[in-house]
Chains A and B, each alone.
Chain A
């Protein structure tokens, strides 16, 4: 009797969220895969024809898609490195015994509370207006110019803004990891005469690998899915040089009206992200040590 009522409560609690999950995630996902094999035009699905893999062939022949893919790879790799290094350093900084550490933690985390869209608009002002002013005032217009209008610097401006936003978030994860290290071990290493560098590489880093697993996963998948900052900061410009993958998919669907092809791109995108993150989680999991 007791067991029965337990499973009943279990299902009663599960059903509402399961209902929502199935409706907004599972069903659209399956429908999306089906659409990607047809010539669906965004209107009624009835009447569209089955076209097998021709959408996927078109996707791989699309030069813009491939270059957006490469750019997204570059972006994701840089973002993972930059935001994790900054995030981890900040975490090391704010776990020291300082008076301002609580304030600093909230300050570093703050950018994450502002949406990426708004961050993009704020920074657009900085890059297009403030930088130009700085350039004229400091007579350094070779460093401070309108970054958004330069293809190379426009890409880096997205990296700066997103890294600024992302590192505060991973900092919190690293703080949790650092604070869960048993102080006895640190003390033991001090007694054994380990310097700060040795302590970092031989004690702290191996013990925070679980935090790295999570942080790397989050930064990797979030960077691949980057859309909002890209949209509000550069909108793919100048001349399409900063168009990341998600933006390319949106453009295909809503600008070129090729819903089925955009859907195929999304499926390809999903498979690639899934493969990469699974490999990453598998690799870092192997390095985790249990105390």
Chain B
């Protein structure tokens, strides 16, 4: 008797387990079905990579849903760090059910190219700033709307600069920077004038980007480099960048600090400049340094332009229905160009606009970056679309060797960089 009872219970349990999973699926699809048939509302889904704006974005979307009755926007959960991997699994399972709007930019973008719809008839697209258009254009067609831009360069301590009697506007060449470093290093409390962080992007990708960004022919040069027709030695701006790095290397922390230590060191006055972008604002807001700070470009080869690029861009799923795609573009236009959307973007989400004539956030670094964008004093993030996959790890290994003094001369530096580049591009 007991045995039969336990048998019965376990059978029920298993059945419940199996049906439990499937029934929830059924109810989900039927819900969607009835929702669209009853009041003909189009449902679109949004999935984005920034965990820090998730809850703010939800309030904005709620507001949008209330403001009109044609489209229902649903914000899906985000995963932050391994966002691209999660997104990828959704697309490999079934592209039709993947999010209607998703965000992706940077080296992972080409993987998702087959799933992106061309952006047509968008108001925001017409207002897109020239410097960032490249980031979202493939073969002359627009495949995304940048949600925000970010800029990086040398973030400097205005008080220390004043104390050392340096005009930041005068730093338009590496020699001027070296001079400034010389003066700064004599100040009390300054351990090193310039600090880089050790993470792959901060130690290698961002600094190395200058070498290509100042090269007007970077597209063809990289193409030739990928094919092995030329080496790094044949690109003058790269050679120049290495010479410049040699000059400032004694004044740096040799990229030994982690990102947190680097920014904390800047806030405490240990480092007079850090090679970082406007994203450090949130960390500095917490540290509350007792000085003012600003951002200047890295003056390799006399460069005076800030490296500004698409942090991430909204993309529309090609496999969504045409109605969904249209609704998605309408929603993005609302978010970027409408008065209310602009206010939300600048004040709530703190997006530095990639669009001309759009409201910019107030934070000091963001405001300075927005000024550079407005004046057109920007050069691109070449690595977003043109650096080979995996170069961040391999390249940062090379540059760490360089800082550790294991690379004897510029020629060896150039050839090691060429090697990892060709190896990563060729795979």
Judge whether B3 and A42 touch: CB under 8 Å: no
Stretch at the interface among A9-17, A27-35, A88-96, A156-164: A9-17
Stretch at the interface among B130-138, B293-301, B385-393: B385-393
Q: Does B11 contact A (CB under 8 A)?
A: yes
Q: Does B398 contact A (CB under 8 A)?
A: yes
Q: Taking A15-B14, A239-B400, A239-B401 as contacts, is the C-beta distance between A254 and B85 under 8 angstroms?
A: yes
Partner of A5, one of B3, B82, B88, B256: B3
Q: Taking A16-B14, A251-B390, A257-B111 as contacts, is the C-beta distance between A43 and B91 under 8 angstroms?
A: yes
Q: How distant is the Cα of A236 from the Cα of B7 in the complex, in angstroms?
A: 52
Q: Which chain A residue shows the least CB distance to B3? A: A5
Q: Does B40 contact A (CB under 8 A)?
A: no
**Size of chain A's interface in residues, with CB distance under 8 A?**
26
Q: Which residues of B contact A261 (CB under 8 A)?
A: 427
Q: Which residues of A contact B424 (CB under 8 A)?
A: 256
Q: Does A135 contact B (CB under 8 A)?
A: no
Q: Which chain B residue shows the least CB distance to A240? A: B397
Min Cβ gap B227→A in Å is 18
Q: Which residues of A contact B92 (CB under 8 A)?
A: 42-45
Q: Taking A43-B111, A251-B393, A255-B389 as contacts, is the C-beta distance between A237 and B17 under 8 angstroms?
A: no
Q: How distant is the Cα of A236 from the Cα of B10 in the complex, in angstroms?
A: 48
Q: Does B198 contact A (CB under 8 A)?
A: yes
Q: Is the interface of B mostly helix, strand, loop or mixed?
A: helix
Judge whether B389 and A237 touch: CB under 8 Å: no
Q: How distant is the Cα of A31 from the Cα of B335 in the complex, in angstroms?
A: 43
Most buried by B among A41, A237, A239: A239
Q: Does A146 contact B (CB under 8 A)?
A: yes
Min Cβ gap B17→A in Å is 7
Q: Does A238 contact B (CB under 8 A)?
A: yes
Q: Which residues of A contact B82 (CB under 8 A)?
A: 254
Judge whether A255 and B390 touch: CB under 8 Å: yes
Judge whether A8 and B7 touch: CB under 8 Å: yes
Q: Taking A12-B11, A146-B256 as contacts, is the C-beta distance between A236 and B6 under 8 angstroms?
A: no
Judge whether A238 and B390 touch: CB under 8 Å: no
User: Contact flags (1/0) for B284-323 with A, using CB distance below 8 Å?
Assistant: 0000000000000000000000000000000000000000
Q: Which residues on B are within 8 Å of A, measured CB to CB?
A: 3, 6-7, 10-11, 14, 17, 82, 85, 88, 91-92, 111, 198, 256, 389-390, 392-394, 396-398, 400-401, 404, 406, 424, 427
Q: List 15 A-B contacts (CB under 8 A).
A: A5-B7, A8-B7, A12-B10, A12-B11, A12-B14, A42-B111, A43-B88, A43-B111, A149-B256, A237-B198, A239-B396, A239-B406, A254-B82, A255-B393, A256-B427
Beyond A257-B390, A258-B427: 13 further Cβ-contacts under 8 Å? Answer: A5-B7, A9-B6, A16-B14, A16-B17, A41-B111, A44-B92, A239-B396, A239-B398, A251-B393, A254-B82, A256-B424, A257-B111, A261-B427
Closest 7 pairs (CB-CB, A-B): A256-B390, A239-B400, A239-B397, A240-B397, A255-B390, A43-B92, A239-B401
